[in-house]
Every structure is written in structure tokens, then in C-alpha cells.
Amino acid sequence: MSRAARLLDLMELLRRHRHPVPGATLAAQLGISLRSLYRDIATLQAQGAQIEGEAGLGYVLKPGFTLPPLMFSADEVEALVLGSRWVAGRADDEVLAAAARHALAKISAVLPAGLRHEMDSTALLVGPGEPLPRLDQVLARLRAAMRQECKVRLHYRDLKGRSSERVVWPFALGFFDQARVLVAWCELRGERRSFRCDQIEGLEVLEQRYPQRRQVLLKAWREAEGIAAQ
């Protein structure tokens, strides 16, 4: 195994754990000596990885780290380009679309020349879709509420024209070809409900956080619906 591949494996191991992992455990899983592990951790730290800890105490990777320049396969590059192009062209959320374009530019900047050519010349294109209502502000505020795990007060009109006001716990957004759908726990109904975002007539992000973690709500919904984790 090349050292670059080993560094990538070390990063993946650290990502799986939220609490410090003993160096001996990491070294055993990678099949290397403790001395090599310490050198690898020092290398990743020098490249910007926020790995905290020390010998005898264990190591943990702080969230939010951006990967250093690492090798992608041609298939992985095409998947990244295709997914980012879909978001940039079809997300109907300019903040998210701009983030996709910026992410592609950052990936391109750190790729080796050969893979950069693969990225620039990929023939996988995103076809045009049906025009959807612009929902920039609605989607941006919902995404912010989900990140902060805050309750949201919705002013909603369903497909039959009935209006209602309800407080929900937003935990997922579905991007479909014909609609954008919010999945949330509805306090009014006392159960999980789905809401078409183009039917939301107004919303207020409340300061109050909902009592369960978003990941717990998402996992329970996936299990109930038989949806595999992505």
C-alpha cells in the first residue's frame, strides 16, 4: 500500500469515531507500527487536518476538515462532477448552486493534471428539467434551521387549498424533479409529515431547539419508510 493510500485510510478510520482512538488501535487496523502512525498523523496535521490528541491518550479528528489533495479514480471524478452539476443547475437554491460550483473549482485546483483533464472533459451532462418556482429563501432558511436543529413555524397551504399554521421539527429535504419536499415532525399532528416547499406561504425559524437530535429523527424516518442510508 502506498503512503498516500495509507493516509487516506487513516483519515477514514478517524472519521468513524467521535471520541479519541488509541494510537495502538489505529496502528493495528492499518497494519503499521506505532512509529509510522505517529509520522502519518504529523503529516496530516501539517496538511491542515485538525487531529487532536497525543501518544497514550488517543486521537480524534475535529469535524469540518477539508481533505488534502488526495487521489480520486476517474469514476469518482465523474460522479463528483455529475452530482455537482446537477446541484448547480437544478437545486433552485442559488446559495446551494453557488456552493456546488465553488466545490467543483476547489476539487479541480487540487487534482493532478491527468485527473483534472478527466474532470474538464467528462461527457456526463445534466439534462434540462421542468422549471420550478424559485425557492431560494425558503430552502436556505430550512437548511439553516436543520443545521441548528431549530423548530420552524410554517404557514402552509396544502394541494386542496386548505391553510394551516403549524410548528414543525425539520430534519430532511427531498429534491425531486417536480418538487422540493420538507420532511419534519409536526407538533399539530403528533407525527412525521411531508410538506411541499412550494406550498409554504411563510415560515419563521424559532429560537427554540427541538428536543431530539436531527440524526435520530432522520434514522427513525428511514427505518419506518424502509429507506437505506445514503
pLDDT of res. 99: 85
Contact 182, 173 (CB under 8 A): yes
CA angle 70, 71, 76 (to 5 degrees): 115
Share of the chain above pLDDT 90, in %: 42
Nearest to 214 by CA among 195, 196, 192: 192
Share of the chain above pLDDT 70, in %: 91
pLDDT digits (tens, 9 = 90+) for 35-60: 999 999 998 888 778 888 877 788 99
Range from 97-106, 173-182, 196-205 carrying the lowest mean pLDDT = 97-106
Nearest to 71 by CA among 164, 18, 119, 5: 5
Per-residue pLDDT, averaged over 154-165, amounts to 93
pLDDT of res. 198: 92
* Beta bridge mates, 163: 157
Using 50, 70 and 90 to split pLDDT, how confident is the model at 13? confident
Range from 11-25, 68-82, 199-213 carrying the lowest mean pLDDT = 68-82
* Beta bridge mates, 174: 181
Q: Give 137's DSSP letter.
A: H
Range from 18-32, 183-197, 200-214 carrying the lowest mean pLDDT = 18-32
* Distance of alpha carbon 199 from alpha carbon 160, whole angstroms: 11
Work out the mean pLDDT of the chain and round it to a whole number.
85
Query: What cell was used for 167?
Result: 410548528
What DSSP string runs through 50-103? Answer: -EEEETTTEEEEPTTPPPPS----HHHHHHHHHHHHHHHHH-S-HHHHHHHHHH
User: Of residues 96 and 210, which shows the higher confidence score?
Assistant: 210
Output the pTM of the full model.
Answer: 0.64
Contact 210, 149 (CB under 8 A): yes
Between 34-46 and 3-15, two packed helices, what is the crossing angle to 10 degrees?
80
pLDDT digits (tens, 9 = 90+) for 54-103: 777 889 988 765 555 456 777 888 888 889 888 887 776 678 888 888 88
pLDDT of res. 92: 65
Query: What cell was used for 24?
Result: 495502538
Per-residue pLDDT, averaged over 120-130, amounts to 78
pLDDT of res. 70: 53
For residue 12, pLDDT beyond 90: no
